Structure 1
């Protein structure tokens, strides 16, 4: 592995249009914080950068809903998000915001460098426009009826009722959310970044040079590159954002995904005058922590931007996590189906480390995982309290009771196999935890720490110093040896406790500090170089009385959280007509079932002509990330159908796939292509689209009834 002089860690900038939830923490902020704390413990030169993303459509939509200005929204939620991170112990070296002047200047300068190099493609395209408000409409400013589930409140980029990815062209009866006017197409000019020019370089840089990246990251990058890259607009029509620094760009701002990652650079500028050391020197290691929905931006688009600009380091690793569901349901802010961090810290004061523990031990590192309140309770009560906390508490209680509250001497001549095994376990744990952390396997690393405390409990239970203490009598000639055995047991247990403080510190920092207080030692003991040593606490040193590190979570607290979750969803459903979780839907119910539509007659159904077909070919639609152009064999003819499934399927995997086609749907033009029909799709438990397929033996064109 290449040696680096310094490490720059970034965590994805959350949109300042609402509070953060535990899915955000599990996705990137807790992993990033663990890694930053680990490197600091190693005395490495590390900077941990974060901040709020305060531009983009979600901000303006929230402002519109609340009847305030976008600045009011970002001021409110930036403060709340920053406070939530601080309470959860996320140790940013700086938590900035993209509305700061230094960021506006940095992003504008970055754009101008690329423009002056002649790298942008200037294009005039048609975009939806609201004639009443004289506004070009982003996808989220357009609503209509979802062509998949019939939801009348679907957005131009997604239906939040059935989860389908959409484009405005697919909506039935589209309307502007600003004025309820029917949007029209109007020409507008934008500047496109030619990603296709960097395709060859990206293939070599990612697919050849970074095979060590996590499988989910590497696989998603490979899929994008295999499908071919297209130019991407880096400007938008809006009055909220960073103004395009060109004289003929009135009413244009930088695309939020152009300006947001530059926020890492501008925040570093705010933090230190030596910011260029962290961004422009080859001996810097850049690591991006993100969720899986940001992979393409951090692994393909931003690196291509950095490469085009020149003089910047490229990310060495992008350890993205998958998604964390809540009680079997996808997190949904519109349905208020989330566990909000600012509410958690109020409901469970002093239990911030407990949540960090649960979210790390159940982290969605390789696949989507599920958070349940019952699992939260079980992990805390059965692992943190009963294993880790129990060992530390028993050690201190017995030390005060049997050794006068001081660290007893280690009598090496009496060390037996059990003692030597525990010493070996302590010495080996450091390497096990370090190896896992270096490879971003944070769950495995945390398991090793808990397992070490489990071994301590087993050792103490086998030694039974409390039983030996009962045999200490003046007339017992073995009393001196018995006391020495007690000393050895508690000496090693105390040295193990000191090691546990070091190893648990990156994961549960408040717990580590509480353990230092009990041991009456300074924070310097948490330096990683001390891990594995068995002489951390001096013989004869008086220690403080034990304090409980964690408390048990009661059944009533869990039931209250479940009721709160359901009540919040029901309240959101009333105000927005989003589907709520009802008593008939158990917390373990994986599928998000949409409501039944209004009753129809047999004659209504008989008007729908469903036919079996086979996909002959599939290709991406130019300038449309979500659309695929499909050629379908219906037996009696071949049809062209445009379908919004590009985010779920690679085009090369579709030829030969058997499908069901709505064959008598009126033709519609989408991105200039006439679509003649619709293929039927469903959603699986993970939120992925799957085909409603005809039987493989059904001939193409046969009617399905």
Structure 2
């Protein structure tokens, strides 16, 4: 666990403008909870911090749409989100609010310290302004027609129909979402943090000091730093948020991404008077759990803020996950393509651990992954019911049937290598799970726990205590049994005792090892064994003496229930029935259906196609080409070498988001100079209604693999 005396674990503050869905859980809250439960089991001094992010444009847009105040919105969703987390066993020490007075004070003081130290630049710029409402407009408050797909409901930052990233200048016929007026540009003053001043320090601290971070995190950070940082406004024009604490800042608030991470600090202040021990002492290990869309804020901007302010510890790790898709499609809250946690709790009461298990099993730790209801059913029925649940139930039933419901003795005189190997496997499993947890490999850790349960099933199947019991019954009844007589009865009972003693000790070990992942199931096992919570301390894992001989056990109860096909069909139907199709998309649908396919090109011979050298490559760097809005400069690993490729996809992709993506490269295309950069190949793309999609293999393959 390293040389740390305390642990400060944070999970990204969710926006209080809607409920939380399974993508949120898989992204950061579940892995954070697993890690914290493990640390607590090790008796570490740990604080688990989270809260709702109650400022920013999404809140005010939600309020505007519902014709209520922003405070009404955050009050409602703070409770819904908090209740959902609690129901799923996400064990925060505090779930705070950025609208709380303690946070306003903390964030204002933080800003003032930097301001008084001369760390901000004051700049005047022109921004869009609503002449009717007399307010400045964030990009999301500007609506117009998308220049790419014709959607007339596109926002000033993105078209939600085709996914294109936009700026208000690119919209056709832009208008204010507040009044429908045509926005005008007006000068406004803001305070900027010159992030470029922190580049040398960030490169040393992050790129040199944290090469052990996950590849997706490190790669995205390197891309940002290699592209060069620029000054970033830390204030906004708005009436909702933390007011800029300066006399000449009327109508201005702190930028939400300045105030939100400070929420970790204010929440810790609210939690404990010893908050400074966790934030200001060098022997604290600070770990941020986030999704990949928050990497730049937690790995570059917030550390730069902490460094500039001074006196705070910096994150030791930021194990960000990628995105979780649902049934092959990206989660979309606006289209209601999501599995909401509060809905799951209603539909599957007392089955929180099933969802925890499935989300951990399919966690997008290194790449985007997919949740399907069919996989959910299969994992429950095949792995939880038939593996873990089956082992625990068989152990309990057989103990009651063959040993009077009490923990039998272990008899060394009849023990064999199979017994001893099974007992030794407890410590091996503990070491394996622990190593994986320490490395933030939660899928691997959970699989290690389940492997011990699988070994238990195989051990019991090999020992067959029920067969030995039948042999004993026949001998007692006077029925001849080959190789056995009455003199063998004590030895046969001792063998049964040994098997069930080992299984009960294994069951107790499973209670400890499952607790970080399946806390509700862990406590059910403890209930069956009639043991206290203290047994769940990590130091007890691996022990072969967790349940005492002669101790009476409770009657068997099933840990998991089989999920039937009709339940899954109902969830799939619910998902599709709730899908909201944007008005622009619905209007465009008939035209799209009538749109003729692209005309076929002239026929070629096989030999023509064979001239192409198509290879799978992995994007390892991506950056915008200076003074070229449409071009990205990519560095693509094709196994034997790394190629520089200039591609006209900048309007469709954020450079940081495509690092690690696999692509198909035309590797023998003659080099061509574009904007002074020699492009050594061409990336194959598919176009779907204006949206560009990488042509890549269905499964990850080694860079350089040929395509034929």
- TM-score over 0.5 for the pair: yes
The range that moved more, 413-422 or 645-654, is 645-654
Pick from 484, 491, 498 the counterpart of residue 494 of structure 2. Answer: 484
Report how far residue 413 of structure 1 moved: 2.0
Q: Secondary structure at the match of 1:471?
A: helix
Matches within 5 A, 1:160-559: 160-472=160-472, 473-474=475-476, 476-559=486-569
- SS of 1:89's equivalent in the other structure is coil
* CA-CA distance at 1:555 after TM superposition: 0.6
1:76 alignment partner in structure 2? 76
Aligned-partner SS, 1:478: helix
> Structure 1 residues 461, 348: CA separation in 2 closer, same or farther (over 3 Å shift)?
same
Distance in 1 (CA, whole Å) between partners of 2:125 and 2:649 is: 23
- SS across alignment from 1:111: helix
Match of 2:581 among 567, 573, 593: 573
Q: How does 1:102-121 map to 2 (within 5 A)?
A: 102-121=102-121
The answer (yes or no) to whether the contact 2:624–2:650 under 8 Å persists in 1 is: no
1:535-583 CA-to-partner distances (Å, cap 9, x unmatched) read 00011111101111111111111000011000100xx227x45569xxx
1:385 Cα deviation (Å)? 0.5
The residue that corresponds to 1:696 in the other structure is none
Deviation, 1:149, is: 1.8
In the alignment, which residue of structure 1 is the partner of 2:156?
156
Alignment partner, residue 9 of structure 1:
9
Q: Is the CA contact (8 Å cut-off) linking 1:502 and 1:528 kept in structure 2? A: yes
Q: Secondary structure at the match of 2:9?
A: strand
Mapped contact 1:23–1:331 kept (Cα < 8 A): yes
Instruction: State the match for 2:129 in structure 1.
Output: 129
Query: How many angstroms does 1:34 deviate by?
Result: 0.4
Does 1:52 find its partner at 2:52?
A: yes
Task: Count the aligned residue pairs.
Answer: 627
Q: Which residue of 1 aligns with 2:30?
A: 30
**C-alpha distance 387-646 of structure 1, shift in aligned 2 (>3 A):** closer
DSSP-derived class of the 2:47 partner: strand
Deviations 1:645-674 (A, max 9, x none): 4545799997527889xxxxxxxxxxxxxx
Q: Deviations over 1:172-197 (max 9, x none)?
A: 22111111111111111110001000
CA distance in 2, matches of 1:26, 1:652: 41
Query: Counterparts of 2:595 and 2:470 in 1: how far apart (Å)?
Result: 82
SS of 1:133 mapped into structure 2: coil
**Conservation of the 8 A alpha-carbon contact between 2:164 and 2:651:** no
- Asked if structure 2 preserves the Cα contact closer than 8 Å seen for 1:627 and 1:644, the reply is no
Report the alpha carbon displacement of residue 598 of structure 1 after superposing the two structures with TM. 8.6
| Greater Cα shift, 74-83 or 648-657 | 648-657
Q: CA RMSD in A?
A: 2.5
CA contact (8 A) 1:20 1:341 kept: yes
8 Å contact kept, 2:114–2:308: yes
Are the counterparts in 2 of residues 334 and 578 from structure 1 also a CA contact under 8 Å?
no
Q: Given that residues 628 and 646 in structure 1 are in contact (C-alpha distance below 8 angstroms), is that contact kept between their aligned partners in structure 2? A: no
Structure 1 distance, partners of 2:282, 2:461, is 52
Distance verdict in 2 for CA 1:353–1:652, change over 3 Å: farther
- Describe the SS at the equivalent of 1:37: helix
Instruction: Provide the C-alpha distance between the structure 1 equivalents of 2:51 and 2:447, rounded to a whole number of angstroms.
Output: 30
Corresponding residue for residue 662 of structure 2: none
Q: What do the CA deviations read for 1:192-238 (whole angstroms, capped 9, x no partner)?
A: 00100000110111111101100000000000000000000000000
Whole-Å separation in 1 of the counterparts to 2:658 and 2:383: 40
Change in Cα spacing, 1:138 to 1:94, as seen in structure 2 (3 Å) is same
Q: Is the 8 A contact 2:164 2:691 kept in 1?
A: no
Q: Deviations over 1:47-103 (max 9, x none)?
A: 000100000000000000111000000000000000000000000000000000000
Q: Distance in 1 between matches of 2:146 and 2:694?
A: 18
SS in structure 1 at match of 2:578: helix
CA contact (8 A) 1:407 1:537 kept: yes
CA distance in 2, matches of 1:596, 1:684: 25
Counterpart of 1:47 in 2: which secondary structure?
A: strand
Per-residue CA deviation, residues 9-66 of structure 1 (Å, 9 max, x unaligned), is: 0000000000000000000000000000000000000000010000000000000011
Contact 2:652 2:692 in 1 (8 A): no
TM-score, length of structure 1 as denominator length: 0.85
Q: State the secondary structure of the residue aligned to 1:553.
A: coil
**How big is the shift at 1:414?**
1.5
- Offset of residue 684 of structure 1: 3.9
CA contact (8 A) 2:162 2:691 kept: no
Distance 1:579 1:378, change over 3 A: farther
Q: Which runs of 5+ in 2 are unaligned?
A: 479-485, 598-621, 634-647, 660-673, 684-689, 697-708
Shift of 1:683: 2.6
Distance 1:45 1:579, change over 3 A: farther
Name the CA distance, whole Å, in 1 between partners of 2:652 and 2:401. Answer: 70
- Structure 2: how far apart are the matches of 1:443 and 1:268? 29
> What is the match of residue 667 of structure 1?
none
Aligned partners of 1:498 and 1:453: how far apart in 2? 11
How far has the Cα of 1:627 moved from its partner? 5.2
2:570 paired residue among 555, 560, 569: 560
- Residue 236 of structure 1 aligns to a residue whose secondary structure is strand
Q: 1:618: how far off?
A: 8.0
Query: 1-side partners of 2:680 and 2:161: how far apart?
Result: 27
Structure 1 unmatched runs, 5+: 581-592, 603-616, 632-639, 661-679, 687-705
SS in 2 for 1:175: strand
Using structure 2 for the length normalisation, give the TM-score: 0.85
Q: 1:145 to 1:280 in 2, by over 3 A?
A: same
- Whether the aligned pair in 1 keeps the contact of 2:163 and 2:652 (CA below 8 Å) is no
Residues 332-356 of structure 1: per-residue CA shift (max 9 Å, x gap): 0111000000000000000001100
Deviation at 1:594, TM superposition (A): 7.9
Q: Structure 1 residues 399 and 328 mapped into 2: Cα distance closer, same or farther (>3 Å)? A: same
Once residues 512 and 599 of structure 1 are traced to their aligned partners in structure 2, the CA distance between those partners, rounded to angstroms, is 57
State the secondary structure of the residue aligned to 2:679.
coil
Q: Are 1:407 and 1:538, in contact at CA under 8 Å, matched by a contact in 2?
A: yes
Secondary structure of 2:354 counterpart = helix
